[in-house]
Structure 1
Amino acid sequence: MKAILSIKPEYVSQILEGRKTYEFRRKIFKRTDVDAIAIYCTSPQSAVVAEVKIGNIISAPPELLWQQTGEHGGISHDNFIAYFRGSDTAYAISLQSVKAFKRPKRLSEYAPNVKAAPQSFVYVE
């Protein structure tokens, strides 16, 4: 099972370059069979640009998660703390085996049943 995640262009670039190996989220998948992510690069690109295998998912209080994964997350400590403000639990998805598409795909091309870019993520078969 895959999930499409909406990710800002600055972070997508870091993922594709191999500098960002953790994707941080406030909420995580309820389904336990999600083993891959399709990366939807948000505006201005607005396209699915890559697929990534999930290594593991770490959950912890934000400050502890930062200590474990922060140097591989492609985000400053201040922005990380601001993102998780008010959250008791933070999630870090380990990104492995990044496969960038030669040509980005429109959402309708990649997942015809998905009608709009996901706010956070959406499951796809």
Structure 2
Amino acid sequence: MDVLLSIKPEFAEKILGREKRYEFRKTAFRDPSIIETIYMYASSPVQEIVGSFSLSSVSEGTPAELWREFGSDSGIDQRSRFMDYFANTETGYAFEVADVRRFTESIDPQQRLDDFRPPVSFQYLRGEYDSLIATDPKSGSD
């Protein structure tokens, strides 16, 4: 199963540039073991699908534990910014990023799908976007 993940453009670019090795979330996937590909939808102002990655592992912990363990690979330069994201949250998740692929041409789903709605956090894909997110033979690891 694939996932479409909404992510701020700043962090999508850091993942694509290998500066960010962990993506942090307040909720985890139901069954991470069945996730094949995570497609990155860079939110406003970009609003395009810019690349993908594989999920290597998922770690769970308090925000303080996640920062201690993964902060240096978070792509976030301020602990306070990290902690602000997790405000009022006791448990968080660190998704380890692997097999990063940058698309040679970003995909604008709003131009190609009549009913596209960007996910608030993420959405599971069950083939409904297969024609939209075709493997780009020119894409690859940066």
Alignment partners' CA distance in 1, 2:61 and 2:17: 26
Query: Number of paired residues?
Result: 124
Percent identical pairs in the alignment equals: 31
After superposing on structure 2, the runs of 4+ consecutive aligned residues of structure 1 that deviate more than 6 Å are: none
Residue in structure 1 matched with residue 55 of structure 2 by the alignment: 54
Summarize the alignment of residues 1-125 of structure 1 with structure 2, pairs less than 5 Å apart: 1-32=1-32, 33-75=34-76, 76-107=78-109, 115-125=116-126
Task: Structure 2: state its 5+ residue gaps.
Answer: 127-142
CA distance in 1, matches of 2:7, 2:95: 13
After superposing the two structures, state which structure 1 stretch, 59-68 or 113-122, moved more.
113-122
Determine the C-alpha separation between the residues in 1 that align with 2:17 and 2:74: 13
Instruction: Report which of the two structures shows the higher radius of gyration computed on alpha carbons.
Output: 2
Distance 2:87 2:36 in 1: 28
The Cα of 1:36 is off from its aligned counterpart by: 2.1
SS in 2 for 1:91: strand
Indicate conservation of the 8 Å contact 1:19/1:74, yes or no: yes
What secondary structure sits across from 2:75 in the alignment?
A: coil
Which structure has the highest strand share of the two? Answer: 1
* Cα shift readout 1:48-96 (whole Å, capped 9, x = no counterpart): 0101010000000110111111110111210111111111101000000
Taking the aligned partners of 1:114 and 1:82, their CA distance within structure 2 comes to: 33
- Measured in 1, the distance between the counterparts of 2:50 and 2:95 equals 18
Relative to the length of structure 1, the TM-score reads 0.91
